[in-house]
Amino acid sequence: MSTTPAPAANSRPSPARQRLLDAATDLFYREGIHSVGVDRIIEESGVTRATMYKQFEGKEGLVLAYLQGEDHRLRELFAEAGTVSDDPDVLLDLVIAGIEQDIRERHTRGCPFINAAAEYPAEGPVRELIADHREWFRATLEHLARAAGLTDPADVAASLVLLRDAALVGGYLDGQDRVGPAFARTARGVIASHRA
């Protein structure tokens, strides 16, 4: 399991592919995956049906690309944080601040991975991609906790993943301004409680 960012799937997607992906990303996140049909995505993106099926072979391919994009963005944020500092304590605090900002600004309707998991059966490529993303996220946090010298790095990682899940859902239900600071305070408390 690598804690380094995944390479870009397509360094330069075609404009039509990007329009499809942009439309799908917006619609899937705002309205839900199963409630948005291919015709709506085609209409919103302004491409032809043939182009849609050439680029993604079907809706599931588009769903996978949407979730891969979400995964890639998070990995990029971790990579960017690594350019700011190589101190694991600083990096853990940057992760917490980044998640708090994400709750307030980008993911205001819950976690795209949790939302997608709720719409798909436990077996299949969508849930496999979600599981891979979550394992990468957990392993990355565990690596940082271990590098910071925290006790029980696996517990730190599991706790931070749980808190992020709860904060993304709670932010949607109770308001980001209430939940964001509570997440950050609680996450920092978890880290403090694992200092040797």
Domain limits for position 184: 15-193
In a domain, residue 5? The reply is no
Tell me whether residue 98 is in a domain: yes
User: Which pLDDT band holds residue 15 (cuts at 50, 70, 90)?
Assistant: very high
Residue 22 domain-assigned?
yes
Phi-psi region of 175 (alpha: psi -120 to 50; beta: other; left: phi over 0): left
Whether 65 maps to a domain, the answer reads: yes
Tens digit of pLDDT for each residue in 141-170?
Answer: 999 999 999 999 999 999 999 999 999 999
Encode the chain in three state secondary structure: CCCCCCCCCCCCCCHHHHHHHHHHHHHHHHHCCCCCCHHHHHHHHCCCHHHHHHHHCCHHHHHHHHHHHHHHHHHHHHHHHHHHCCCHHHHHHHHHHHHHHHHHHCCECECHHHHHHHHCCCCCHHHHHHHHHHHHHHHHHHHHHHHCCCCCHHHHHHHHHHHHHHHHHHHHHHCHHHHHHHHHHHHHHHHHHCCC
Question: Measuring CA to CA, how many Å separate 50 from each of 40, 136, 163?
Answer: 14, 35, 42
What total number of domains does the chain contain?
Answer: 1
Whether 90 is in a domain gets the answer yes
- Is residue 8 domain-resident? no
Instruction: Indicate the pLDDT class of residue 6, thresholds 50, 70 and 90.
Output: very low
Q: What is the pLDDT of residues 87-138, one digit of tens each?
A: 999 999 999 999 999 999 999 999 999 999 999 999 999 999 999 999 999 9
Considering the domain boundaries, does residue 7 fall inside one? no
Q: With 90 as the cut, is the pLDDT of residue 23 above it? A: yes
Q: How confident is the model at residue 11 (pLDDT cuts 50, 70, 90)?
A: low
Cross-strand bridge partners of residue 108: 110
Domain membership of residue 169 (yes or no) is yes
pTM of the model: 0.88
- pLDDT surpassing 60 at residue 5: no
pLDDT at 12: 72
Comparing CA positions, the residue from 193, 129, 130 lying closest to residue 159 is 193
CATH number at residue 169: 1.10.357.10
